């Protein structure tokens, strides 16, 4: 299976379908790593490790894609934006966003956006087991409500076998999301790029593919595979 996946990766690479080829390289490397762990023959292990090193060098991520979301554009739900990077091997996710805060504050940021993102991860096809969130504390009286909301999300995720680790920083400014298959997504506005719906019964209130967006830029990178062999 690993050899077939790598063969497919090479074909996609030659066809200049770099994004798809990187995903296949990643999956092929993971499959070969599993073979290495199960192999007792040291000579075979050495050959497999050499092949994996070659693949890592060949697929080393100098990949960068930029998506421009125009003002009032639709069709950019979290599923549409992230799904192609959430392969089955994704088990750990890091979210850095300073404004995962209380839903009722005057700011446009909302805990509901983070909850919706978590729901997408739970639905798969990835097998996420751990989510790390780094954010900043809400100001004033909103702090206790922010913590309470995050604890509720934590408990709910636990029911699905997912651990949410939350940390706070007063100096965080960057907004980025990383998956342990090497993909990193930076969104100018973080998770909060959706506009407020016109009303509770307006189109786009429930389906975020139909929700107008604020103008922002999404940068997608692929970082070097760092799993130990």
Residues of the chain with CATH 3.30.870.30: 65-222
Task: Encode pLDDT of 148-162 as tens digits.
Answer: 999 999 999 999 999
Q: Is the pLDDT of residue 7 over 90?
A: no
Contact 145, 104 (CB under 8 A): yes
Which of 63-72, 156-165, 179-188, 195-204 tops mean pLDDT? 156-165
Distance between CA 36 and CA 59 in Å, rounded? 19
Q: Is the pLDDT of residue 193 over 70?
A: yes
Three-state DSSP at 69 gives strand
Please report the pLDDT score of residue 60 as a whole number. 54
Residues of the chain with CATH 1.20.58.80: 1-60
Q: Is the pLDDT of residue 49 over 50?
A: yes
69-to-51, 102, 107, 165 alpha-carbon distances in Å: 40, 25, 21, 30
Q: Note the CATH architecture for domain 65-222.
A: 2-Layer Sandwich (3.30)
Look at the chain and count its residues. 229
Domain topology for 1-60:
Methane Monooxygenase Hydroxylase; Chain G, domain 1 (1.20.58)
Distance between CA 133 and CA 163 in Å, rounded? 11
Rounded to 5 degrees, φ, ψ at 142 are -70, -15
Q: Is the pLDDT of residue 166 over 70?
A: yes
Least confident residue range of 17-21, 132-136, 156-160: 17-21
Q: Is the pLDDT of residue 141 over 70?
A: yes
pLDDT band at 40 (very low <50, low <70, confident <90, very high): confident
């Amino acid at each position: 299976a690993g050899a077939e996946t790598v063969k497919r990766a090479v074909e996609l690479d030659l066809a200049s379908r770099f994004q798809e080829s990187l995903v296949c390289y990643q999956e092929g490397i993971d499959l070969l790593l599993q073979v290495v762990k199960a192999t007792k023959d040291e000579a075979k292990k050495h050959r497999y490790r050499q092949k994996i090193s070659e693949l890592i060098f060949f697929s080393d991520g100098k990949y960068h894609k930029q998506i421009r979301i125009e003002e009032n554009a639709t069709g950019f739900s979290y599923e549409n934006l992230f799904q192609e990077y959430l392969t089955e091997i994704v088990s750990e996710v890091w979210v850095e966003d300073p404004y995962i805060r209380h839903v009722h504050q005057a700011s446009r940021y909302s805990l509901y956006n983070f909850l919706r993102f978590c729901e997408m991860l739970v639905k798969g096809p990835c097998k996420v087991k751990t989510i790390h969130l780094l954010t900043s504390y809400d100001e004033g009286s909103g702090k206790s409500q922010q913590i309470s909301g995050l604890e509720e999300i934590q408990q709910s995720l636990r029911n699905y076998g997912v651990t949410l680790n939350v940390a706070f920083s007063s100096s965080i400014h960057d907004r980025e999301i990383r998956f342990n298959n090497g993909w990193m997504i930076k969104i100018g506005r973080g998770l909060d790029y959706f506009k407020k719906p016109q009303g509770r019964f307006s189109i786009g209130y429930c389906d975020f593919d139909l929700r107008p967006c604020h103008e922002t830029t999404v940068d997608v990178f692929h970082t070097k595979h760092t799993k130990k062999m």
